[in-house]
Amino acid sequence: MSVYLIFLFLCLIALILVCFGIILFRKNQTHKNYLKKIINVFYQIRYGNLNTTLTGARTQLEQELENVINSSIESISDRDNMIREHIDREREMAVLKSDFIAALTHDLKVPVIAHDKTFDLLLGNKFGELTQEQNEAIQNLKTSNMDLKYLIEALLETYKLEQTRLSVDIAYGVQIPLFIKEIISLIEPIAVAHNKKINLTISTSEDFTADIDKFLIKRVLQNLILNGLSHSVNSDFIEVALKSKGENFQIDIKDNGLGIEEEEIKKIFDKYYSGSNGLTRSGVGLGLYLSNKIVKACGGKIKVKSNAGENTVFSIILPKYYKNNPQK
């Protein structure tokens, strides 16, 4: 129920207490029996039945109480119906908006992929030798196109996440150091284009393994590393660190940027929240929202530690062994 309905509901409780006081004062058995009917109606309202009515008044006092209680129930029911209709309309609008975004982003993805392949052909001198200036210009276009590609993928994944239950596909015994190195190798061209470096520290054995969804965790790491590169304004590098912690393992992504205000840290995983410093590369607040959803679905959590004006560390903590691992 809404706050307004709860208020009316409390008013009914107060009215019943008044009735109870009157009955105790008069010690009238007829009124006591009627009070039981009032209490029964009260319990029905408490459990959501707003179609109930109070009947059986025998005295003028009981009739007056009956009129007040029944009119209050009717008022609560009317407002409850209005609220439900409003919620239904809001849900319908949300679905329409979500479907529109999904259709639009799906259509946008096709030319973005085509552009990416065309840039690769140009950079591979398939249409003739390029000058250094042309090569740099096309490389910049390719980097911008990749940014757009990540944004479109984030929008599509958000739509899928809200329409269906997030499905986790666990791969057992994944070599985590190699897995992280492969992801960094994919992102390094973007880092180089922005004159940045990715420094990796591995505080565990090279053959360290764990059970993860490679596709989903790759998505999370890509997002957090790209965010780190984008916001590392105080240096030309970011740090990625892998460490083992008991039954879990932890991946830290540390930038050297402006940091995040304390009051904003609790909001950064909200959908579409970007914060005063623009906490996501795309600026629409989907990357961190999706990352948090994915890590939770995989049985882990994301922690954030930030020093204003200095750096921010995002820590992904995941279990080494998936709970349903048939190999354990």
Residue 328 confidence (pLDDT) above 60: no
Q: Are residues 129 and 251 located together in one domain of the fold?
A: no
100, part of any domain: no
Question: What value does the mean pLDDT take over residues 124-129?
Answer: 88
**Of 105-119, 162-176, 235-249, 274-288, minimum mean pLDDT range:** 274-288
| Residue 269: CATH number of its domain | 3.30.565.10
**Axis-axis angle for helices 29-46, 60-123 (nearest 10):** 10
96, part of any domain: no
Question: What's the pLDDT tens digit per position in 77-100?
Answer: 787 788 888 888 887 777 776 667
76, part of any domain: yes
- Express as a percent the part of the chain with pLDDT over 90: 20
Name the band, by pLDDT with cuts 50, 70 and 90, for residue 249: very high
Give the containing element (helix H, strand E) for 306.
strand 301-307
275, part of any domain: yes
Q: Are residues 308 and 248 located together in one domain of the fold?
A: yes
Q: Are residues 194 and 131 located together in one domain of the fold?
A: no
- At 301, is the secondary structure helix, strand, or coil? strand
**Of 57-66, 172-181, 230-239, minimum mean pLDDT range:** 57-66
315, part of any domain: yes
Name the band, by pLDDT with cuts 50, 70 and 90, for residue 63: confident
Tokens 């008013």, located at residue: 11
195, part of any domain: yes
297, part of any domain: yes
Name the band, by pLDDT with cuts 50, 70 and 90, for residue 188: confident
Q: E strands within 164-236?
A: 171-175, 197-203, 209-212
Q: Are residues 202 and 313 located together in one domain of the fold?
A: yes
Domain total in the chain: 3
Q: How far apart are CA 192 and CA 45, in angstroms?
A: 65
As a whole number of angstroms, the longest Cα–Cα distance in the chain is 104
- At 209, is the secondary structure helix, strand, or coil? strand
Q: What is the mean pLDDT of the chain?
A: 79
pLDDT computed for residue 283 by the predictor = 42
Q: How far apart are CA 155 and CA 105, in angstroms?
A: 7
By residue range, what is the domain housing residue 77?
3-89
C-alpha dist (Å) from residue 33 to 17, 27, 38, 140, 323: 15, 11, 9, 83, 57
Residue 175 confidence (pLDDT) above 90: yes
pLDDT computed for residue 163 by the predictor = 66
**Is residue 212 a contact partner of residue 177, using CB atoms and an 8 Å limit?**
no
Q: Are residues 47 and 115 located together in one domain of the fold?
A: no
Q: Are residues 242 and 287 located together in one domain of the fold?
A: yes
What is the pTM (predicted TM-score) of this model? 0.59
Q: Are residues 129 and 255 located together in one domain of the fold?
A: no
Q: Are residues 120 and 187 located together in one domain of the fold?
A: no
Give the containing element (helix H, strand E) for 181.
helix 176-193
Q: Are residues 248 and 130 located together in one domain of the fold?
A: no
Q: How far apart are CA 67 and CA 64, in angstroms?
A: 5
Q: Are residues 37 and 153 located together in one domain of the fold?
A: no
**Is residue 149 a contact partner of residue 281, using CB atoms and an 8 Å limit?**
no
Question: What's the pLDDT tens digit per position in 199-239?
Answer: 999 998 878 899 999 988 998 998 899 888 888 888 889 99
Q: Are residues 245 and 281 located together in one domain of the fold?
A: yes
73, part of any domain: yes
